[in-house]
Structure 1
C-alpha cells in the first residue's frame, strides 16, 4: 500500500520550519511518504488500519509494542539503503524488528517508522563452504526447517518463535553452546546496510572492525540483512520438557548433580522455576537436551524419575524439539533481566527458588496476571573458548552462566514496580553469589537478557571505547541513534 503526497517535494529546511508548528508527527508522516516514493516494487509501506501494519508493529511482549506512524517492509538491501537515507535526512525515529521478541520497551519499536524485516526470509546452504545464508527476517524455526533436508544445522535459539537477528546480534546462548560457543562465535559474515546507504560485507578479513562490533553490538552500526553462519552435521536429538510441581528440592538436587558431574558438551538442560497467577500455582519446567538420538545411560535419570504433570522427552528431530518448547507471553507485558554467574551451588539454587516464592507472596494479590520465572542455565565454563574477540562478551577469560529472570503482568500501572523488583532481585542474588566467593559484582551482563536501564558499562565493560570508535567510523551522523536499543 502506498500513499501519494506532494509534501515530499518540500526542502528539508522547509520541513523543519513547518515541523516547529506542526510537531514531530508531521516529520514522521513526511518520512513515511518519502519512503513510499523511493522504494522499489519489492517493498511496501503500510499505514494504520491495515493487517500488515498491525503485524509489523506486533511484539511478543505487549509492553514492547508501539503504534508507529507507518511501517515499511523492505524486500531488498537496496531498499533498506533508501529507507535509511530518508530517515537520516529527516531525523525520524525508527525501529528495526526481526521477530519482535525483545522485552525492553522501544528497543525494536517506535512512534516513528517501524522497519519490519519480515521479507528477508532466505535460508540457503552452501555445502562446499559448510555455511548457511540466513535472512534477517527469519525465526529459528524456519532456519532449522530449511537446513533439515541437508542434515545440518546451526547454533541458534532454544524455543519456538525467536528471531535470528536480535538473538545473533546480542550474542546467542544455545543448546549447542557447550559444543560450538555462542551464535556470534559461528558467524562468518554479515551483509549490512550502513547508515550512509552503502551495502557492505563484514568478515574477519573484510571490514574486520565492523565484524567485531556486530558480534554482540546489535544495531549500532547499520541494519544487517543477511547472516552467514557455520553449519554442523545434525542427527536426530534426544530431549523435551518435564513439568512438575511441589518437588523443588528434588529438582534442585537433580540440577545440582547435572551441573557438578556432566561435562559432555552434547548435553544441556534448562531448569525454570515459575509462579503463574493464571494457574494459581508454582510450576517447575526442565528442558533436557542431548545432541544425539540417545544420551549416555544415567545422565538424565534424576530428571526422568521426577513425578511430572506433563512430559514429552523423546528421540526426535532438532526442529521437533524446538517446536515443542513454545514460550508464550499470553498477551501480557514483560521484562527480562539477568545475573551473571560462574557457579551454581545448592544454596544459590535454593535462593533462586525462594525468590520465586517470595515475590509471589508480595505480588499475587496486587499485580493482576503476574507470572514470575527464574531460568537456570548450567553451561560449561569453556563456553567462551570456542570464539574470538567480539563486542560481547568483553572478556573470554571465564564462561558466564546467565540466570534469566522474566516477569510478566497485565497492567501498565505496574511497569515501574516490576522494573524495581527485578533489579532488586538480581542485586540480591548477585550478593549471595559474591558471599559464596564468586567475583561477579561487576561481571558483564548478557545483553539479550539485561533490563533496559542497565548501564552500557555493565554490559560492554572495557570494549566500550573501541565500540564507540567503530560506531563513529561507520555512523558519523548517528543515524542509528534514532533507533532503539543499547547505544554506544
Structure 2
C-alpha cells in the first residue's frame, strides 16, 4: 500500500506547471479541509484523489457526461468502517457528497457532486458459497464482472441485461433481468445488505435483523445509507440462446407485429426480449435482443423475429456473459443523456405504433437541437413477474397484484444548453404514451414508475405509491440527521 501522504504527489507536481487559473483552482482544492480531514481520518485501505490525477478522472466519470461533475476530491474507501468515517465527516460538516457504483445513473447529480465523491470501486469481491447457494457481491462492480466470476461455478444471479450496468444502483432501484420471469426482480433475490448507516454503524440487514430496513433497501435506493455488499441468491446456469438483430425502417411493421405477438402469447418463463426503437442518422430502426435460458428455444417462440429480413444478426447458443455483451455497444458514451419511463400492463399493436411515432417525431425534431440518439426500449414480461415476492415485501413495486412492464425512454445529445429541451421532450413523450395506454383501457393511472428509469423530478408517490409514509418514517428512524439528503437522488 502506498503511504497516504504520497497520494498528493501527482497533483502537487501538476501545480508547479499549471497556468495561473488552474493553479488557483488546484490550491483551493488541495487545501480543502474536508478532503484533508477524510484523508487523515481513514485507514491506509482508503485513498483520496484530486483533479490532475487519472484516478480522480476515472472516479468522477460517467457514461453520460451530464451525470459527471467536478468534485472537490474523490475518495476510494477500502473498508466499510472507512465509509462510516467518511459519512461522519460529510454529515457533521454539511458537505454535499455522492456515492458512485457503476456510474450508470442518467439523472444529473444522482451519483455525482461538486462536493466529495465516494467511489466504491474497491468493493469488488464476488464470493460464492455453494452451501447456502448465495454470492456476496461488492457494490463497486458491474454485472459483467459478477457473471464472469460465477461462470466457473455454473451458477448465476438475477442481474442486468446489457453490458456495463452497475450492481449497486441497479439492485437498490429494483432490477429487471433476463431471469425476472423465472426468479423475480433482483431485489427479490437479495438475502442481506451490508449497510453503512448515516451514523457510521456497519450492519448486516436481513429480513430477520431489521425487516423494515430490509424492506426499504429493496427499491428505496440511497436513502438509508451506503450499501457496500449484497448477498444474492444464486441459481444454476448453463448455456443460453440469443443475441442481437438489427432491422431497418422498411421492416419495422413486421417487427412490431412480432413484438406484439410475443408479448401477448409467449408464456415460456425462460423466454424474453427487448425491442428497441432507435432514431439515428436520420432514420428509425430497431435493435432486437432475444433471450432464452437454454441452448435452444422451442420452435415457434422467436420464429417471427428470425423470419424478418435483417441488417445484422448475432444470435447463437452461448454463455450468459457473451449474450449480455452482445447488446449494442454504447455509441453515445460521453454524450449528455436522460432516461424517463412509463409503466404499462400490455404492449399492444396500438402502443407499439405510438412508440414508433414518438421515435420518429422526437428523433426528427431533436436532431436539429444536437440530438444524436433517440431510443425507446420495449420490455415485455409476463404478468406474473411480481409474484416472486410477498405483497408488501419491497419499497418498489408498492403493489404486486399487477405486473408492470417498463418502457425506457432514452435521449442523448451534445450540448448542455439543450438540457432543458431534451428533459421536457422526455416528459412529454412519456405522458403521451401513458395517456394513450389509459385511453386504450390499461389501468395505469397510478402505476408506479421503475425508479432506475424515472426522470429526476418524478414525485415520490409516482415511485412508491402507498409506501411513501412508511418509507419516510423509516428514513427518519435510520437517518435522523438527514445525512443522506446531502447526496442526490429521490429524497424521502
- TM-score, normalised relative to structure 1: 0.94
2:32 to 23, 26, 29: 29
Q: 1:11 is matched with which residue?
A: none
Answer yes or no: is the 8 Å Cα contact 1:27–1:90 preserved in 2: no
Deviation at 1:280, TM superposition (A): 3.3
SS of the residue aligned with 2:276?
Answer: strand
1:162 to 160, 165, 169: 165
Moved over 3 A (4+): 1-5, 25-28
Answer yes or no: is the 8 Å Cα contact 1:28–1:112 preserved in 2: no
Q: 2:478 is matched with which residue?
A: 474
Q: What are the within-5 Å matches in structure 2 for residues 4-43 of structure 1?
A: 29-43=32-46
Q: Residue 382 in 1 paired to residue 360 in 2?
A: no
Deviation at 1:361, TM superposition (A): 2.3
SS of the residue aligned with 2:369?
Answer: coil
SS of the residue aligned with 1:408?
Answer: strand
Deviation at 1:439, TM superposition (A): 1.5
Q: Once superposed, what is the RMSD of the aligned Cα atoms?
A: 1.5
Q: Residue 406 in 1 paired to residue 397 in 2?
A: no
Distance 1:26 1:322 in 2: 40
1:296 to 284, 295, 298: 298
- 1:275-294 CA-partner distances (Å, limit 9, x unpaired): 01xx3322201100000011
Q: 1:347 is matched with which residue?
A: 350
Q: Residue 360 in 1 paired to residue 363 in 2?
A: yes
Q: Residue 251 in 1 paired to residue 255 in 2?
A: yes
Q: What are the within-5 Å matches in structure 2 for residues 427-466 of structure 1?
A: 427-466=431-470
2:55 to 49, 52, 55: 52
Aligned length: 466
Answer yes or no: is the 8 Å Cα contact 1:3–1:33 preserved in 2: no
Deviation at 1:212, TM superposition (A): 0.5
Q: 1:125 is matched with which residue?
A: 128
- TM-score, normalised relative to structure 2: 0.93
Stretches of structure 2 that go unaligned for 5 or more consecutive residues are: 9-27
Q: What are the within-5 Å matches in structure 2 for residues 204-353 of structure 1?
A: 204-246=207-249, 247-276=251-280, 279-328=281-330, 329-353=332-356
Stretches of structure 1 that go unaligned for 5 or more consecutive residues are: 6-24
- 1:54-84 CA-partner distances (Å, limit 9, x unpaired): 0000011010000100000001111111111
SS of the residue aligned with 1:256?
Answer: helix
SS of the residue aligned with 1:352?
Answer: helix
SS of the residue aligned with 2:178?
Answer: coil
Distance 2:230 2:217 in 1: 11
SS of the residue aligned with 1:273?
Answer: strand
- 1:375-403 CA-partner distances (Å, limit 9, x unpaired): 10010010000013101111111010011
Distance 1:51 1:153 in 2: 33
Deviation at 1:87, TM superposition (A): 0.8
